[in-house]
Chain A
Amino acid sequence: MQKKEWHTALCMLCVLMALAYGLCRFAVYQNQPERLAAFEDRFLDLTTLGISAGEENQLTVSERKVTLSWPDDAQAAEMLTAVQPLPDGCRNLQITLGGGGSMNSWHKERWGYEAWLELRLYKGEEQIASDCAEMPLTASRSDRTRIYTLQAETREADGWQLCAVIRPVDGRIQHGELLLNNWEVDAR
């Protein structure tokens, strides 16, 4: 091996060591008990959000999971939280959650119903902003969820509400269910 090779090896190993040292520090920091506790308990307790559903719809709420189901021939279904206060000085609100339910789509095709999530921001009783996203439910099992996210600039808002709406694609919808779990709120 030539001198140049040894020098390069030394330099590269030093760079790797510095990187590894930084990552080791990060691993230790992340595993501090208070950081771990914050990571493990970061989800909203859904039983405290005052979640309600439309007539004829059935709602099951537990700490980390809410299930909305509707009967055959329903015209629509909806569930929504009570308006939740925004923390002072919050400029941006992001909600991340897992969504799943009875299969209603494949590629661009939809059948039966469409499932939408809507984040509404309120100033007093007036809705001043919103963000929405469709949940194309492509899983063959209704208990399989994937992550969805909604976000909005809060501006002058003082409260937020999350709503899930089921709309028929062609007239009426058949019995089905929607599952939302692991709600995470990031208010900055």
Chain B
Amino acid sequence: MTNGKEWITPKKALCWLALILLAGFALRLVPILSYDMGPNTFSDDNGYLTGGITFANHGYVSYEDTAAQTTATGPGMPFLLGALFALFGYDAAGMLAVHMAFASIGLITAIGAYLLGTLLRGRLTGLLAAMFCALEPGLVSVNSLFLTETPYMCLNLFVMYCFIRCAKEWNLRIYWTGILCMLIGAMFKGLILMAPLAALPLILRKKETLKAWLPRIGIAVLAFVIGFSPWWLRNELVLDRFVPFTANRGDLQLLGSYMGWGYPEGTYDETVLELDAEAWMNGTQDDVELRFARRGEVGRERLAEWFRTHPLGFVLTHLIYKPFKLTTAHLMQEPFVSERYSQYLWWGALIVALWGLICPRFGKKAEPGYYLPALYLLAATLITAVYAPLPRYGISHFPLWLFYTAAGTADVWRRIRRKG
């Protein structure tokens, strides 16, 4: 895939990859086996746990409230966890087994990083990217809980790999693998629809390529519409309205209006208390969907007020402050190693990633498509900064940053070897 000499043979690379995956699996056992039933932070992960068991038993997509259907979550987690619970059960032993199986998705992400790294920069970069994805404490921590980030990151990486690979060199099987990954990934987060767009600059390079790709893009869109139609029908039956992915972003929008420079006065907790009191007065305290939607309304009102009163602060917050926080914040949901240590590690990884981004200017030239993940990172971070400015949502971008960290590390390694 890459030009230049590869000093690691494919066979050797596979042996190294197997070792990396083994080490990654062992590391993932640490936070899981510390608890009798696997870790649980009683946050979103508890909602998914409950939703998975409800789906396994009754076939309904629900979240925290086991007696109500929901559109607060996509169908991905209930399907995936429901299948795992049906397979392993959810007594103490079953719960640990499901945690292990779920955390192992993080290892498939490492394989995706290997493929992407090898495709865009060579086998050494691929191996290093796999190693970083398998061993990075924040990723291990997120993988050990039941969060959408784990399957989403994995599928996102594969979608990007498949479409970039097809744009460089057409392959029917990989194209369909990419479409299926996109379809399944959208069940976890709709943002995955941005991943195939990463390949667009490569496709737009030549007129002939674009001509061949137009029907392919049409087929991908059609496959998505067909694949998602049951979810749209189900949402129509449950809510009486069209919901493409999930209905609730309300709480996140409200939270986002308390972060940055020059936002309107008040605190998130105060507003939530006021809105909860309002819900009690209206008799809607048990309608979670409605309460979250109301938070969204207030959040949007606050964002509009912010833009009116401090337009510069608003713009700078969304262009600089929130994207910076999303990128640099390190999340240790399950503190199995020191939080400070892993934060330093992440800062180090980002610095090396920056070198990875610029090093092709000073040595081994960049393969076509090398900067596509960076373009995607930029767009995805800016979009996430608007709709979900919480550190947790930045972790989905870790594997792509780690690809550039790997490229930077490989470049430094090559330079040292050359000097030696």
Interface residues of A (CB under 8 A from B): 1, 4-5, 8-9, 12-13, 16-17, 19-20, 23-24, 26-28, 30-31, 39-43, 96, 98, 107-108, 133-134, 136, 138-141, 144, 146-147, 149-151, 182, 184, 186
A-contact 0/1 string along B330-347, CB 8 Å cutoff = 000000000000000000
Query: Is B324 interfacial (CB 8 A cutoff)?
Result: no
List of A residues within 8 angstroms of B223 by Cβ: 12-13, 16
A152 and B146 CA atoms in complex are apart in Å by 27
A-contact 0/1 string along B29-42, CB 8 Å cutoff = 00000111100101
A39 and B227 contacting across the interface, CB-CB below 8 Å = no
A139 and B50 CA atoms in complex are apart in Å by 15
Pick the contact of A16: B60, B212, B226 (CB < 8 A). Answer: B226
List of A residues within 8 angstroms of B35 by Cβ: 107-108, 136, 138
B49 and A147 contacting across the interface, CB-CB below 8 Å = yes
Query: Closest approach, in angstroms, between the C-beta of A144 and any C-beta of chain B?
Result: 4
A28 and B50 CA atoms in complex are apart in Å by 23
Query: Is B300 interfacial (CB 8 A cutoff)?
Result: no
Query: Is B387 interfacial (CB 8 A cutoff)?
Result: no
Pick the contact of A30: B53, B59, B215 (CB < 8 A). Answer: B59
Across chains A and B, the number of contacting residue pairs, with CB separation under 8 Å, is 98
A24 and B229 CA atoms in complex are apart in Å by 8
A-contacting residues, B212-263, CB 8 Å: 212, 215-216, 219, 222-223, 226-227, 229-230, 233-234, 237-238
Interface residues of B (CB under 8 A from A): 34-37, 40, 42, 46, 49-50, 53, 57-60, 66-68, 89-92, 172, 176, 179, 212, 215-216, 219, 222-223, 226-227, 229-230, 233-234, 237-238
- Binding site secondary structure of chain B: helix
A139 and B37 CA atoms in complex are apart in Å by 13
A27 and B234 CA atoms in complex are apart in Å by 6
List of B residues within 8 angstroms of A40 by Cβ: 67-68
Which residue of chain B has its CB nearest to the CB of A109?
Answer: B34
Pick the contact of A133: B42, B92, B179, B212 (CB < 8 A). Answer: B92
Which residue of chain A has its CB nearest to the CB of B183?
Answer: A16
B91 and A151 contacting across the interface, CB-CB below 8 Å = yes
List of A residues within 8 angstroms of B179 by Cβ: 12
A144 and B42 contacting across the interface, CB-CB below 8 Å = yes
A98 and B51 CA atoms in complex are apart in Å by 12
